[in-house]
Amino acid sequence: MMKWLETGKNKMNAGKFLLMSLIPFALVPAQAAGFSGWWRTEDNDSIVSIETCVDAPERFCGYLVKFDSTGNDALDNQLCRAPILGDLNAVGESLTGGWIYDPETDKVYSVTIRKKKPGQAIHLRVYEGREIFGETIHWTRYEGSDGECRK
């Protein structure tokens, strides 16, 4: 341990210094990893917001925030901020251990998300069972200024 940390007067300051130096890493794992934000789906039909989960802030989820209207206001209201991704853990340069909902098949699959171009594109590895047998889809960062859907 460094000499200046050992003196009685500085013991409390040393503790505060160590605690304060660790807080930024504990609070923003996805921000640091570059996954948070709005992402355009591969088919260009929807925008998904990846952010901390409402009910589990240590994990990450994805919510539908922009999509083409179905023509049915009640259905559009249901779809607005509908969960598309869930239970993802930030591990290094990936989000893992989560699920993705596919509205076309009405099924839930396992998913791992990795960076393709840091901050600009991501790979979503979607699979049942083993990841090696899955399919990779690509999403790109959405920088639009128009607002999200309204409930």
Range among 25-39, 81-95, 134-148 with highest mean pLDDT value: 81-95
CA distance 139 to 118: 12
Indicate the domain borders of the chain. 1-33, 34-141
pTM for the model stands at 0.76
Q: Domain 34-141 adopts which CATH fold?
A: Lipocalin (2.40.128)
Q: How far apart are CA 70 and CA 111, in angstroms?
A: 27
pLDDT tens digits, residue range 16-74?
333 333 333 444 444 445 899 999 999 999 999 999 999 999 999 999 999 998 899 99
Q: Please check the confidence at residue 91 and state whether its pLDDT lies above 80.
A: yes
Q: Are 116 and 39 in contact (CB under 8 A)?
A: no
